[in-house]
Chains A and B, each alone.
Chain A
Amino acid sequence: MAETPKSPTDAVENPFPSKARAADLDENGYLFHRFEPLEFTGTAWNYFKIYFINIFLTLLTLGLYVPWARVRRRRYFYSNTRILGDGIDYLATGFDLLKGWLLVLAGLACFYALPFFDFGFAYAEAIFLVAVLFAYPWAMNKSLQFNARNIVWRDVRFTWHGSYWGVAANLFIAPLVGLLTLGLLLPLASRMMRHYIAKNYSFGSKRFEVTTNLWDFYKAGLKTVMLCLGIAFMIIMPLDLIYVNANSTLEQLDMNSHQFWIITIFVLQLLIVGLFLVTTSFYRAQTRNLMTNGLRLDNNIRFRSELSGLRLAWIVLQNAVLIVFSFSLLLPWAHVRYYRYLTENTYIRPYNDMTQFVDDEINAGHSIGDAVSEAAGLEIAL
């Protein structure tokens, strides 16, 4: 007959014998003051399955499954991203995203129905589009807010502290001005964008900080321009030769001029798209490195990013070609490859065991901004 235990736990043996705490090593044996890479434990095959089941269920439910599909995609990437051994997790559910998704569908339906109603003036569509344009910064801001609160690491969530005008000025107007000045102010705009993003995130109650040098951004810009000119030169030269010798080429290829020009223009468009992808990835890698290397959390936690612009550009180019030629069947593989390259070349240097963070009680808010941002293709590339 067993004796009545004094407390519920008395009867069960304590599995942890006490032992002295090892100095300077946290549970996973990470040494402090050393840069540790982030890990990505996902595989292309696992994501491939998730991706295609997403498409299948979306078709089956005539689109209603999309919020859940998005959640599964995000969870896959986040929870397989490990910082110091612990994965990030994404806590929003399909139901959270459903409201936003339904509203976006309703908005699209309204847009398509617009031309059929008489508002007393023409250009109702144009006004609708302008209104949507003004809504973008709102959507982006709300989306960042919603998603930050739903991303958690060891039970502390991130928080986004941005505002409508901050997002509008730094994430929309600044790059626009950068482009309008033919790129002269683009490095400045990039720096503003990167800084705004970095400075407005906090992990728990500790804000991120960032320090960068504007001249480094201009160096990145110059390198990108030189790369672009170099590649353009390599493309334009052969095309020039074809153009100059058009007649003999036509005879050799046995085509008429109409078809020839259609093909030439098509190829030219492809090359321009390729050049665009390469240039933007190269520049993005550089600015991401600059931002991450200058990032600090809680004063002493540092980060590092060692992306090679050329390697990233090459990955993006290969991915684009593969996606097109496989009719997007290989998209999951491409996505994983790109994400893995970014993740595994990002480092964190903790100065202690990272236990000092505490979550603050901030509400995530609704998901409408997130749904609008997804529909508009707005995204922050980190």
Chain B
Amino acid sequence: MKITGTFTPQKTSERYTAMLLVDEPNQPSGQLLLAIDRLEPVLAPVTITHVSAMMAGADWRITLAGRGVFTLSAPDLPESLTPLLPKGARRSSFVGLAERLRWRGMIVICMLIVASLIGIRAGLPAAGDYIARFIPIHWAKTAGDTTLSQLDQLFLSPSKLSLADRGRIDQIFASINATLPPDAIQPKLLYRSAPSFGPNAFALPGNIVILLDEMVEFANDDDVIAGVLAHEIGHVTNRHAMRMVARSAVIAVSVGLVFGIDDSFVEEMATLGTNLILSSHSRKFEREADKVSIQILQQLGRDPTSLLKLFDKFAAECGDGCNKTSFFDSHPGLDERRALFE
């Protein structure tokens, strides 16, 4: 059999029409001959040391020991070459064959991909939470301390609350802590001020709760403050901060793996999408914290609906837009939060 192609002597850019001869009349079996047009010697025995992997549309590069490269333009390597290929080189590969699937096969592949992505999306929270469980407590504490020192540097100033106010609020906090199971780690309360944040309170990893002066002023009611603190402690006891970190890490890694092969543009789009996913997880955590807040307030004998007063105050400032939940918000809309209390 004569296999027509081109030949390039090794490490040069020369190009000759050539043929590989195998199983020709009078040719011993197992011998491969290379015939080159206009280059001496015209006929020579060769051995194949390497064949490029199968690739749609591309030529086959067949490396001949000590001579050069024979290039063949064909969709498949001829059968007769198979016994002459080096060990380990295959005429076709699993991936190469897979890439030759017709459209039906591709639809199956696409469905499998979509199914895997849905599975990943569904398994994300579980995977993130599982990882979060393994994070040692002192690591979480370090993370919390680091975050706090960064916040202190950038946004937070020392609190200006009076000692009397602080004493009172400390007592409220202690009473909430008393409702926690005895083996739970006691959260710590810190006071700060941050006019740029407005009325707010947040929970950091390492069981830290931060209460802003602006929130104390805005709420102006011990029951409401108790509700806010209970809500934040809800975040602490359910390890929301660590779980969010773990979940966002899992998402980031998954996106990086799936889309990192190709365009970084796609990766950026996917990252934007992951923010939507994380926001939905965040809303879920806020709902959980609201529920914890109701429970704790009931246990303390305070008015469990005190947070409703806070929501009304927010609504007065914020207008109708804050009542609805949108995909972009980290907290559920006020209407939804109110509904929990009924």
Within 8 A of B (CB), among A129-179: 153-156
Contacts of B21 in A (CB 8 A): 12, 15
0 or 1 for each of B14-35: is its CB under 8 Å from A? (1 = yes): 1111010100111110010101
Cα distance, A155 to B6, chains bound together (Å): 12
Contacts of A89 in B (CB 8 A): 52, 58, 61
- Report if A254 contacts B (CB, 8 A): no
Q: Which of B99, B145, B269 contacts A324 (CB 8 A)?
A: B269
Within 8 A of B (CB), among A317-359: 320, 323-324, 328-329, 331, 335, 353-359
Q: Which of B15, B27, B99, B319 contacts A49 (CB 8 A)?
A: B99
Chain B's closest residue to A82 (CB) is B59
Chain A's closest residue to B152 (CB) is A122
| In contact, A257 and B321 (Cβ under 8 angstroms) | yes
| In contact, A15 and B13 (Cβ under 8 angstroms) | no
0 or 1 for each of B54-69: is its CB under 8 Å from A? (1 = yes): 0111110100000011
Q: Which of A53, A66, A155 contacts B99 (CB 8 A)?
A: A53
Within 8 A of B (CB), among A16-69: 16, 18, 21, 26-27, 41-43, 46, 48-60, 62-63, 66, 68-69
The interface stretch among B105-113, B189-197, B207-215, B294-302 is B105-113
| In contact, A331 and B109 (Cβ under 8 angstroms) | no
Cα distance, A347 to B98, chains bound together (Å): 34
Contacts of B38 in A (CB 8 A): 16, 18, 21
Cα distance, A108 to B69, chains bound together (Å): 40
| In contact, A12 and B101 (Cβ under 8 angstroms) | no
Q: Which of B35, B147, B322 contacts A14 (CB 8 A)?
A: B35
- Report if B178 contacts A (CB, 8 A): no
Q: How many residues of B contact A (CB 8 A)?
A: 89
| In contact, B320 and A52 (Cβ under 8 angstroms) | no
- A53-B109, A356-B13 given; A262·B328 CB < 8 A: yes
- Report if A123 contacts B (CB, 8 A): yes
Chain B's closest residue to A5 (CB) is B26
Q: Which of A123, A154, A262 contacts B326 (CB 8 A)?
A: A262
- Report if B174 contacts A (CB, 8 A): no
Contacts of A257 in B (CB 8 A): 319, 321
| In contact, A123 and B150 (Cβ under 8 angstroms) | yes
- A15-B19, A62-B257 given; A155·B10 CB < 8 A: yes
Chain B's closest residue to A379 (CB) is B264
- A50-B99, A155-B68 given; A75·B58 CB < 8 A: yes
- Report if B11 contacts A (CB, 8 A): yes
Q: How many residues of A contact B (CB 8 A)?
A: 83
Chain A's closest residue to B21 (CB) is A12
Q: Which one of A12, A14, A76, A122 has the greatest number of beta carbons of chain B within 10 Å?
A: A12
Cα distance, A87 to B321, chains bound together (Å): 59
| In contact, A26 and B15 (Cβ under 8 angstroms) | yes
- Report if A216 contacts B (CB, 8 A): no
- Report if B47 contacts A (CB, 8 A): no
Contacts of B8 in A (CB 8 A): 154-155
- Report if B71 contacts A (CB, 8 A): yes
| In contact, A335 and B58 (Cβ under 8 angstroms) | no
| In contact, B57 and A43 (Cβ under 8 angstroms) | yes
| In contact, A9 and B319 (Cβ under 8 angstroms) | no
Chain A's closest residue to B99 (CB) is A49
Q: Which of B2, B53, B101, B249 contacts A15 (CB 8 A)?
A: B2
Q: Which of A2, A26, A156, A328 contacts B26 (CB 8 A)?
A: A2
Chain A's closest residue to B28 (CB) is A8
0 or 1 for each of A86-130: is its CB under 8 Å from B? (1 = yes): 110100000000000000000010001001111000111000000
Chain B's closest residue to A126 (CB) is B150
| In contact, B269 and A156 (Cβ under 8 angstroms) | no
Contacts of B120 in A (CB 8 A): 59
Contacts of B106 in A (CB 8 A): 48-49, 52
Cα distance, A196 to B101, chains bound together (Å): 43
| In contact, B98 and A53 (Cβ under 8 angstroms) | yes
The interface stretch among B77-85, B134-142, B231-239, B305-313 is B134-142
- Report if A236 contacts B (CB, 8 A): no
Cα distance, A76 to B322, chains bound together (Å): 51
- Report if B266 contacts A (CB, 8 A): yes
| In contact, A12 and B321 (Cβ under 8 angstroms) | no
- A26-B15, A53-B109, A324-B269 given; A70·B261 CB < 8 A: yes
| In contact, A27 and B58 (Cβ under 8 angstroms) | no
Contacts of A16 in B (CB 8 A): 17, 19, 35-38, 42
Task: With both chains docked as a complex, state the minimum distance between the C-beta of B278 and any C-beta of chain A, in angstroms.
Answer: 15
- Report if B199 contacts A (CB, 8 A): no
Contacts of B136 in A (CB 8 A): 116
| In contact, A117 and B142 (Cβ under 8 angstroms) | yes
Contacts of B263 in A (CB 8 A): 331, 335
Within 8 A of B (CB), among A289-341: 320, 323-324, 328-329, 331, 335
Q: Which one of B101, B260, B263 has the greatest number of beta carbons of chain A within 10 Å?
A: B260
- A108-B253, A155-B10, A257-B321 given; A11·B56 CB < 8 A: no
Cα distance, A320 to B61, chains bound together (Å): 36
Q: Which of A46, A122, A153, A335 contacts B149 (CB 8 A)?
A: A122
- A324-B269, A354-B13 given; A51·B262 CB < 8 A: yes
- Report if A73 contacts B (CB, 8 A): yes
0 or 1 for each of B242-271: is its CB under 8 Å from A? (1 = yes): 000000010001001111111111110110
Contacts of B45 in A (CB 8 A): 8-9
| In contact, A41 and B68 (Cβ under 8 angstroms) | no
Contacts of A12 in B (CB 8 A): 21, 24-27, 33, 43
Contacts of A320 in B (CB 8 A): 265
- A15-B19, A86-B71 given; A50·B260 CB < 8 A: no
Cα distance, A5 to B33, chains bound together (Å): 15
| In contact, B13 and A156 (Cβ under 8 angstroms) | yes
- Report if A369 contacts B (CB, 8 A): no
Task: With both chains docked as a complex, state the minimum distance between the C-beta of B244 and any C-beta of chain A, in angstroms.
Answer: 13
Task: With both chains docked as a complex, state the minimum distance between the C-beta of B134 and any C-beta of chain A, in angstroms.
Answer: 11
| In contact, A377 and B267 (Cβ under 8 angstroms) | yes
| In contact, A69 and B261 (Cβ under 8 angstroms) | yes
Chain A's closest residue to B13 (CB) is A357
Contacts of B265 in A (CB 8 A): 320, 323
- A58-B257, A258-B321, A335-B263 given; A15·B99 CB < 8 A: no
- 7 closest A-B pairs by beta carbon, nearest first, are A258-B321, A79-B58, A377-B264, A116-B139, A63-B257, A359-B11, A11-B26
Pairs across A and B, CB under 8 Å, 7 listed = A8-B31, A59-B258, A86-B6, A86-B59, A156-B11, A258-B320, A320-B265
